[in-house]
Amino acid sequence: MTKIDSERTKVAVPARGKMPSVKRIGGWHAIGPIVIFLAILVVVAILTPAFIGSGGLAIIASSSAPILLLALGQAMVLNVGSIDLSNAAIGLLGAILLALTLGPVAGLSPVIVLLATTAFGAVNGLIVAYAQVPSFALTLGTLGIFQAVALVASGRTTVYVASNGEGVHALYESGIANVPMTFWMGVCLAVFLWVLLRYTRIGRGMTAIGKNESAAIFSAVRTRSLKVLAFALSGFAAGLAGIAIIAQAGSASPTGLGSDLLLPAIAAALIGGTSISGGVVNPLTVIFGALTVALVPIATTAVGIDAQAQSLVYGAVIIGVVALTMSRNKSSIVK
């Protein structure tokens, strides 16, 4: 029997020979976004040493906060094999609602805003899961709806926080290590999501959906509820982003700060190693994805690149970085 066993083990060798390389990619997948952020930072530090000295890092971190929050929500939705194009619009609507309600209801206002944005996200999820509308089409539609609601709610102008804004504003003014609390809020959310994905059955189920939805269904994973939850988390994270916007600007408008965060947030999620076809995500590296996205425009200015060429550099860097960090486990199928 033992002789037979050794022979049969030999048969399995080809499969085994393949395994270490997969593992190596996994390792790069975990640290790639960090390495790339640091590499860009080093280049900037060498070219303009003053940038780092004058608190440039804190500027990057604080400007990355809303992107980070939205990117984390987006990453959760991407992980279940869907996409949420409406989350930045939900975030901005949340900011407008916060600015409108802080005066009348004070401390209750952020709670109401978070409940509302989470509900918006959940509605997206419910329609995707139960009416089976493809998420791209659905959230493209709800993106328009939320933008319209934001226009109506704001009366097409900038809404200023009338009173009671101190508490929210303090999130931006106070901080740890010179970095505002809004950023640390994102870090806390990232840690929470990391634990959710790594150590809970809910997280495991979500990842299974992203990797192979049919198999998840046949394994009795509650695929519909988990999709709704992923979208609800995206709405919740968007609500936090709305709070971060008010904390930073003290006001919100349909065309102001936060109105163009959708694509940077998706870029941050991708640079952070999230697979656009689902099933691969690490919220902790998404932090560095968001930092990289915030760093690039600041760095191009600091290095002194012509303003007209900045978006070209920005675009080129995003493509290059995603090419380097993108998870390619899913054979060659990249959506």
Partner 1 sequence: MSNLTTTPAVLHLNNVSKSFGSNRAVRGVSLSIQPGEVIGLIGENGAGKSTLLKILSGNYRHDEGTIAVNGREVQFRGPADALRAGIGVVHQEQSLFTNLTIAENIEVNTPIGRGGVNRLGLYNWRRLYADAAQALDLIGSHLNPKTRVSDLSFVDRQMVEIARAIRVSAASHTTPLVILDEPTAILERTETAILEREISKLRDIGSVIFVSHRLDEVMRICDRVVVMRDGELIADRTVDDVTEEELFRLMVGRETHAAVRSRRSIDPANSPVISIHDLTRAGSYADVSIDAYPGRVLAILGTSGSGRESVARAIFGAEGFDSGSVSIAGYSGRQLTIKKAVALGVGYVPAERKTEGMVGEMPADQNITLTHPGSAALGPFELPRRRLSLARAWFEKLDIRPREPGHTLQDFSGGNQQKVVLAKWLNSSHLKALVLDHPLRGLDPGAAETVNAQIRSVCDEGTAIILIPDTIDEALDIADDIVVMRDGRISGVFDLGHDNPATLDLLERML
Interface residues with partner 1 (CB under 8 A) are: 4, 7-19, 22, 198-202, 204-205, 207-208, 211-212, 214-222, 279, 329-330
Least distance (Å) between residue 284 CB and partner 1 = 16
Select 182 or 327, whichever has its Cβ closest to partner 1. Answer: 327
Q: Are 193 and 74 in contact (CB under 8 A)?
A: no
CB of 298 to partner 1, least distance (A): 36
Min dist CB 7 to partner 1, Å, is: 5
- Other CB atoms closer than 10 Å to residue 243's CB: what's the count? 27
Closer to partner 1 by CB, 130 or 148: give it.
130
Indicate the residue among 101 and 275 with the shorter CB distance to partner 1: 275
CB of 9 to partner 1, least distance (A): 6
Amino acid identity at 37? F
Query: Cβ-count burial of 335 within 10 angstroms (0-12 exposed, 13-18 middle, 19+ buried)?
Result: exposed
Q: Nearest approach, Cβ of 75 to partner 1 (angstroms)?
A: 17
| Whole-number Cα distances in Å, 325 to 27, 60, 166, 254, 302 | 11, 21, 40, 33, 25
Decide if 237 contacts 72 (C-beta within 8 A). Answer: yes
Q: What b/e sequence results for 254-267 when a residue is b if at least 16 CB atoms lie within 10 Å of its CB, and e otherwise?
A: bebbbbebbebbbb
Round to whole Å and give the CA distance between 158 and 139: 25
Q: Residue 328 CB, nearest distance to partner 1 (Å)?
A: 11
Q: Find all residues with CB under 8 Å of 58, minimum gap 6, and list them.
A: 175, 177, 178, 179, 180
Which is closer to partner 1, CB of 169 or CB of 204?
Answer: 204
Q: Which two tokens stand for residue 205?
A: 């189920």
Task: Rank residues 25 and 303 by Cβ distance to partner 1 and give the closer one.
Answer: 25
Judged by CB, which is closer to partner 1: 24, or 201?
A: 201
The distance of closest approach from Cβ of residue 211 to partner 1 in the complex, given in angstroms and rounded to an integer, is 5
156 versus 201: smaller Cβ distance to partner 1: 201
Contacts for 250 with CB less than 8 Å, ≥ 6 apart: 160, 161, 165, 169
- Residues 257, 279: Cα–Cα separation, whole Å: 31
